[in-house]
Amino acid sequence: MKQKANKSLFNCVAISMICGLTSTTFANENPLKAQMTVYQIVDQPKHLKKELKQTDQVKPESLLEYQVSYLNTSANSLKSLKLNLPIPSHVNYTGTSVPKNTYASIDGQNFAKAPLTRVVNGKKVLVPFNEYRVLQWQVDELKPKQTISVAAQVRVNAN
């Protein structure tokens, strides 16, 4: 039963991610193709490079990396793209993403350069990463047949 629940959680994460990958829509055929892969980050000593293991099973507290590759399949350049990566509610963003020019949103509508801040009692404070719901990368131009990849690390919630 637990294995079935883990598989369902993974499927929910994957579906949540794929549904909101890009905010750009096109009339007939979308020339921007996206492919997402979920990796579990395997614990390594600090001096070793991180090890990624492709997975379809996740457990509470697992550290995952979502990687999305976008390919422009058209013969024309795509301009002013906003590539969105939703963060499902059952995982928390860790603050690690690539490329570094990441924007974020807590409501999926309003984006600002990460890390996000807000004013509390007259003081500027950081918004906790667990409140981030969408990450975004702004791409000025994606040339024909060009690929761009983005990645973000998340931790599966304990419950």
pLDDT value of residue 4: 43
Binning pLDDT at 50, 70 and 90, where does residue 45 land? low
Beta strand spans in 47-116 (E): 51-54, 63-72, 78-86, 91-98, 102-105, 112-113
CATH number for 107: 2.60.40.1170
Binning pLDDT at 50, 70 and 90, where does residue 13 land? very low
Binning pLDDT at 50, 70 and 90, where does residue 29 land? confident
Instruction: Specify the range with the lowest mean pLDDT, choosing from 32-46, 99-113, 129-143.
Output: 32-46
Q: Which amino acid is residue 56, in one-letter code?
A: D
Q: pTM of the prediction?
A: 0.78
Look at the chain and report how many structural domains it folds into.
1
* Cβ neighbours of 159 (radius 10 Å): 5
Which one is predicted more confidently, 118 or 30?
118
Which one is predicted more confidently, 76 or 55?
76
d(CA 74, CA 71): 9
- Percent above pLDDT 70 for the chain: 79
**Taking CA 128 as the corner, what is the angle to CA 154 and CA 100, rounded to the nearest 5 degrees?**
55
d(CA 152, CA 97): 4
The range of the structural domain enclosing residue 84 comes to: 2-156
pLDDT in tens, 77-100: 999 999 999 999 999 999 999 998
22 contact partners, CB below 8 Å, separation of at least 6: 32, 34, 70, 81, 82, 83, 84
d(CA 158, CA 156): 7
* Cβ neighbours of 42 (radius 10 Å): 11
